[in-house]
Structure 1
Amino acid sequence: MTWYKLMCNCQELQLIGTLNGGQSFRWTHNKDTDEWLGVFSKTVWKLRQKEDYLHYEVIGSLLNDTPKIGTKRKNGVAKVDSEDLYKKLLQDYFRLDVNLSEYYKEWSEKDELFRSVCKQFYGIRMLNQEPVENLFSFICSQNNHISRISSLVEKLCTHYGEVICEYEGITYHAFPEAEKLSQPQVESELRKLGFGYRAKFIQKSAAAIVDAGGENWFAALKEMKYKEARAELMKLQGIGPKVADCICLMSLGHLSALPVDTHVYQIAAQHYLPHLRGKKSVTEKMYVEIGDHFRALYGDYTGWAHTVLFCADLKKFQNGTETASTKSKKKC
C-alpha cells in the first residue's frame, strides 16, 4: 500500500479534535504511530498528519468502478486517476474548501470565550458525513456514551453492511443502506444484539426513509431551509430535536443547526445565559433560546463554531495526554 498526500496545513485541520470529538464513531487512533484508521464512503482509510500535508492510505474500497492508481488505457492515454477520487472524497469529508482560519478570526472577534480556547483547539472541522450513517449513528447515541455508541454502530455494519476488506485480521464493513435496515425482522434482530428500544426506532425510521424516497429524500432535505429539514427529520421515530439538529449539522449542510445537549447547556448557562443556571433539564423553550442566542452570535456557521467550544469542554481533552495542543502542535 502507498501513502498519498493532500496539502492541508495542520492549523486548518486537527485530526484528534475532529475525529475524536463525538461527530463520527468509526475512527480509531493508534497512539504509537499517531495514525487514524476509519471507514466512510464504503472505503477503509488510514490518515496521518505531517507538516503541511494530510497523508492517507486507501486500505480497501467498494468503489470498484474507478481504475486503480497508475493504470492506463491501451492507447497510452491515462485514465481518470482514482487518486483524484479519493482526494476529492477527503476534501469533501473534511470540508477543506472552507478557509477555517478566516472563520476562527471572525468568531474570535465576536466571542471572548471562543478567543480563549481556539489557540489550543485550532483546526476543528465539521465533518460532512453521509446522511444514512449519520442518522442511524445518532439514533444509537441516545442515552449512551461514545464507546457503546461505537459498538452499536459497528454491529449495524457487521450484520447488515457489505464487506469492504480484511486488514490485520479485522474485517471491515460499509455502513448499511437504509433498505437493509428497513426489513421487518430487523427490529427483533437488533434487540437480540443489545440495541434495546433503539431497535424499533432504527427499523421504523429506515422503513419511513425508504418509503419517502431514500437518497432523493435526503437530497431534498439538503435543499430545504434548516427549520423545514429539521421538522421533516422529527417525523421519524426516535428522532427528537437534538438528533435532528445533529443530522442537519453533520450531513445535510445546515451549519447553523445547534444540537443542545448537557455540554452545550452548561456552556450556555455558565458563560452566556446566566439566568439558565441550575436548571434540572433543558426544556423546549430553553433549547430554542440557547440555539437562537448562538445563531445571533455566530451566524450561518453556528454549529461549527460551537463544536470548537464543545471539544474544549470535553474532559478527555482537558489536563491529560490526549489534548488538542500536545498531540497536534508537535506536527506543525
Structure 2
Amino acid sequence: MSWNKILCNYKELQLFGTLNGGQSFRWKHDKDNDEWLGVFSKTVWRLKQNGDSLQYQVIGSLHKKTDTNCSNLKEDLIYEKLLKDYFRLDLNLGEHYKEWSEKDKLFETACQQFYGIRMLHQEPVENLFSFICSQNNHISRISTMVEKLCTHYGDEICTVDGVTYYSFPQIENLADNKVESKLRELGFGYRAKFIQKSAAQIVDWGGDKWFKSLQDMKYKDAKQELMKLHGIGPKVADCICLMSLNHLQALPVDTHVYQIAAQNYLPHLRGKKNVTDKMYTEIGDHFRKLYGEMAGWAHTVLFCADLKKLKNKDDNLLTEGESQKKKRRK
C-alpha cells in the first residue's frame, strides 16, 4: 500500500510526544519501523514522519462522504482533511512556542526537546468516555478498557495482522440500561455506572447538539455543564474542554500538574497532601495568566517534558530529531 503525504515540518508535529502523552489511548508504536497504528474517526490509520512530511495510510474506514461535511472533496482529500483537523495543522505551532518561551524560561527549556507537541482535536464522545476510564487508572489499563468499549459496542472496521479494529461506540449504544452490568463483568468497576448514566444523560440532552452547544459556550460555563454528568469532576471536565471542545485555556490539574506548579511556579503550595478546589483554581488561573488563551496546550508541553516515560525516551527523541534534519538536507 502506498503512502499519502501531507507537508509538515517535523518541528511542527512530533508524533511520539503527541500520540504517547496521555491524550488518546488508541495508538500503538511500531518501534522497528517507527510507525503508528491507531483509530480515530471510524478509520484505522498508519502514520509516520519522513523529512518535512506526515505520511499516512488508510487501512480501513467506515466513513461516508456525508460524515465529513466535505462531500465535494475526493476521497483522499477527505482523509487528508480529517488528519489536518485531528492534529490542528492549520495552526502555526512555532509561533506559539516562541511566544510561550518568551514568557516562561522553563517552557523555553522544555520545548527544545518536546517540540511539535500538538493538542489533538478529538471527537467529544470518545474523549469523554475515555477519560471516565482514566480515573484512578494507568495508561495500559485505560487503553484496555477503551478497546473493550469499542469491541463490545462499536462497529467493526477491519482486521490488521489478525487484530480486528472497531470504531468508538455511538453514544446511544452506551446509554442502554444493560450496559452497566456488562461493563462490570468486563472489569470497569465503579466506572461502569458513570459510563452508562452519563451516556443516558447526554442522549436525553440532545447528543451531538448538546456537545455543539458546549463548544459555543464560554469555557467556564461549558465546564460547569460537563460536571452535571455522573462521575465527571473538574479534572475530567477540563480534559474534555481542552481536547475536544476547543476551549484551549482549560487546564486539567492532577497531582502531577500540582507538583510542576508547586516546584516551579507557586512555592507556597509545596507540601500539600491534596489538591483542594481552591488550589485547583489557583493553579489553572496562574497558567492562564502566564500563557494566555491557549494555556492548556502550552502546559501540555511541560506535562510531556516531565513525564517519566517520555524522559526515558530522550535518546530516541534526539535521534529522531537528528534523523529528520538529515532527511531535510538530502
- TM-score when scaled to structure 1? 0.94
Partner of 1:141: 134
Partner of 1:29: 29
Aligned-partner SS, 2:225? helix
TM-superposed CA distance for 1:321, in Å, is 5.7
Is 1:303 the equivalent of 2:299?
no
Partner of 2:206: 213
Conserved? CA contact 1:37–1:47, under 8 Å: yes
TM-superposed CA distance for 1:327, in Å, is 3.4
Conserved? CA contact 1:43–1:164, under 8 Å: yes
Is 1:106 the equivalent of 2:99?
yes
Structure 2: give runs of 5+ residues left out of the alignment.
Answer: 67-71, 326-330
TM-superposed CA distance for 1:81, in Å, is 1.5
Map residues 171-186 of structure 1 onto 2, 5 A cutoff: 171-186=164-179
Aligned-partner SS, 1:133? helix
The residue identity in structure 2 corresponding to 1:317 is L
Provide the identity percentage: 71
Partner of 1:17: 17
Give the Cα–Cα distance (whole angstroms) in 1 for the partners of residues 244 and 180 of structure 2.
25
| Structure 2 residue corresponding to 1:293, chosen from 263, 272, 286 | 286
Structure 1: give runs of 5+ residues left out of the alignment.
Answer: 67-78
TM-superposed CA distance for 1:182, in Å, is 0.1
Distance 1:181 1:16, change over 3 A: same
Give the Cα–Cα distance (whole angstroms) in 1 for the partners of residues 3 and 217 of structure 2.
39
The residue identity in structure 2 corresponding to 1:196 is G
The residue identity in structure 2 corresponding to 1:21 is G
Aligned-partner SS, 1:12? coil
TM-superposed CA distance for 1:167, in Å, is 1.2
Partner of 1:6: 6
Map residues 250-329 of structure 1 onto 2, 5 A cutoff: 250-320=243-313, 323-329=316-322
Conserved? CA contact 1:316–1:322, under 8 Å: no
Partner of 1:152: 145
TM-superposed CA distance for 1:2, in Å, is 2.2
The residue identity in structure 1 corresponding to 2:54 is L
Is 1:48 the equivalent of 2:40?
no
State how many pairs are aligned.
320
What whole-Å deviation, never above 9, does each CA across 1:264-301 have from its counterpart, x for those lacking one? 10000000000000000100000000000000000000
Map residues 156-175 of structure 1 onto 2, 5 A cutoff: 156-175=149-168
Aligned-partner SS, 1:227? helix
The residue identity in structure 2 corresponding to 1:37 is L
TM-superposed CA distance for 1:319, in Å, is 4.1
What whole-Å deviation, never above 9, does each CA across 1:132-163 have from its counterpart, x for those lacking one? 00000000000000000000000000000000
Partner of 1:73: none
Give the Cα–Cα distance (whole angstroms) in 2 for the partners of residues 65 and 291 of structure 1.
40
Give the Cα–Cα distance (whole angstroms) in 2 for the partners of residues 270 and 200 of structure 1.
37
Distance 1:96 1:197, change over 3 A: same
Conserved? CA contact 1:95–1:127, under 8 Å: yes
| Structure 2 residue corresponding to 1:121, chosen from 106, 114, 124 | 114
Partner of 1:39: 39
